[in-house]
Structure 1
Amino acid sequence: MRFYRGDGVSLATLLATAAGSAAVYAQLPERMATHFDAHGVPNGWMPRAAGAFFMPAFGLVLLAFMRGVGHVLPQGDKKRLSEQAVADVCALTTLFLGAVHALLLWYALTPGANITTPVIALMGLMWVALGLMLPRFRRNPIVGVRTPWTLTSDENWAKTQRFAGYSMVVGGLLGLVAGVVGGGPGVWIAIGAFMASALVPAGYSLVLARRAGS
């Protein structure tokens, strides 16, 4: 397995996240808020030790899984799966998790801070970045819009990923704007935009398959 720039970004982010937790650990409350409702009110907590280091640990496990799973795929899937593209997606995901963790630390040190708006903004930016990355992937069972029709047709896969790229960029931008300037209702608009932009491409894949079969 080659080491790509994305792997370096992922590892550096995880180290920085863990170091940040260690630096402020003594100042953190005994119970950390780790889950919030749409209004930014905490509704889930973890003990300080778990809350401070869960995200870096989870990110490391996710990175190991994503970078390792490609090596146990069937030979055909393995050849089509770009390791560099996977490393880039891992870097993006790790950066997102690291940023969310930083917000959790900030909230723990500044109770009552508005965490909803920055989280929605981060999700919007990640959605846009994922949309730009999707068309780079060839047919594989790990990354991309995976439906029974995309996984059995290179043409369906390519067209669906391209459509999903546009869909997620638009959904990400809409969600970003709605979540940042729309107040309480904007959060639900943002969530709807994220979900719709991820689900509509699956329907598009079905439409393509039916057209091809007619």
Structure 2
Amino acid sequence: MNPKLKKELPLIAIVLIPFIYLAYIWNQLPEKVPMHWNIKGEIDRYGDKIELIIIPILLPLLIYIIFLVIPKIDPKNKLQNMGNKYQNIKTLLTLFMSILALFIIYSIKNRSFTNPNYILLSMGVLYTILGNYFKTIKPNYFIGIRTPWTLENDTVWQETHLLAGKIWFIGGLMVVFSSLILNGQSNLTVFIIITMVIVLIPIIYSYLKFKKIKKTAP
């Protein structure tokens, strides 16, 4: 068997799980199924069950395809410098999206979104895991804090990702904690604020760091 194909088989299986589960429960579903819940966990839109196919397509399948395509269009093959870390990130995000798709389909089948906080809590866990990876990501055009300043200077890239790793890890823990103690709109608001902070601070830092380096350069 082709070594590359053998390496991808577990990921292909992960991608297929939501499709298989959807096929298994298909005949149990009514023609009209819940398609959206509000922040209180109440159903506020129904749709045809054929729309459910979009869920595993847009979540695990699309993410997996994107990660397959990116190395082939990487203009300078910088992703190869990441070694196994690229494969690890691809596995992590594909698995996360597959679990999320399963959770959504399961909730639709049971017409119950028992606790909307579960999705935000899972996002917090994802933030903490990605935070651990940031410090090891090498300069590239596709993954990480890709600003004009990090892409222009390797030192700016490294220091920005060291800072981002810490911020994303702490931010993820804060999201998890808030999901355990807050509900509804309060938890969503906290999640949005934390997400904006952990995204904007590394971007601003990369600009300031780049300007400082340029100013001190001979």
Superposed CA offset, 1:82-115 (max 9, x none): 2532222222212221222122122212223324
Question: Residue 38 of structure 1 aligns to a residue in which SS?
Answer: coil
User: C-alpha displacement at 1:158, in angstroms?
Assistant: 0.7
Tell me the TM-score normalized by structure 2: 0.85
User: C-alpha displacement at 1:8, in angstroms?
Assistant: 4.4
Superposed CA offset, 1:36-80 (max 9, x none): 4433344555431231x3233232233122222222222353554
Q: Distance in 2 between matches of 1:190 and 1:125?
A: 12
Q: For structure 2, which runs of at least 5 residues remain unmatched after alignment?
A: none
Q: Distance in 2 between matches of 1:5 and 1:139?
A: 28
Q: Which residue of 2 aligns with 1:26?
A: 27
Q: Which residue of 1 aligns with 2:164?
A: 164
Q: Distance in 2 between matches of 1:90 and 1:146?
A: 18
Identity %: 20
Q: Which residue of 1 aligns with 2:69?
A: 68
User: Is 1:137 equivalent to 2:137 in the alignment?
Assistant: yes
Comparing 153-162 with 179-188, greater Cα deviation is found at: 179-188
Tell me the TM-score normalized by structure 1: 0.87
Comparing 2-11 with 178-187, greater Cα deviation is found at: 2-11
What is the root-mean-square deviation in Å for CA atoms of aligned residues? 2.4
Q: For structure 1, which runs of at least 5 residues remain unmatched after alignment?
A: none
1:98-137 counterparts in 2 under 5 A?
98-137=98-137
User: C-alpha displacement at 1:194, in angstroms?
Assistant: 2.2
Give the length in aligned residue pairs.
Answer: 212
Q: Using a 3 Å threshold, how does the CA distance of structure 1 residues 142 and 23 change in structure 2: closer, same or farther?
A: same
Superposed CA offset, 1:176-210 (max 9, x none): 11122111212211222123112211111112112
Q: Which residue of 2 aligns with 1:17?
A: 18
Superposed CA offset, 1:10-55 (max 9, x none): 322112111111111122232343444433344555431231x323
User: Is 1:173 equivalent to 2:143 in the alignment?
Assistant: no
Q: Distance in 2 between matches of 1:141 and 1:190?
A: 27
Q: Using a 3 Å threshold, how does the CA distance of structure 1 residues 47 and 149 change in structure 2: closer, same or farther?
A: same
Contact 1:175 1:191 survives alignment (8 Å): no
Question: Residue 210 of structure 2 aligns to a residue in which SS?
Answer: helix
The AA in structure 2 aligned to 1:56 is P
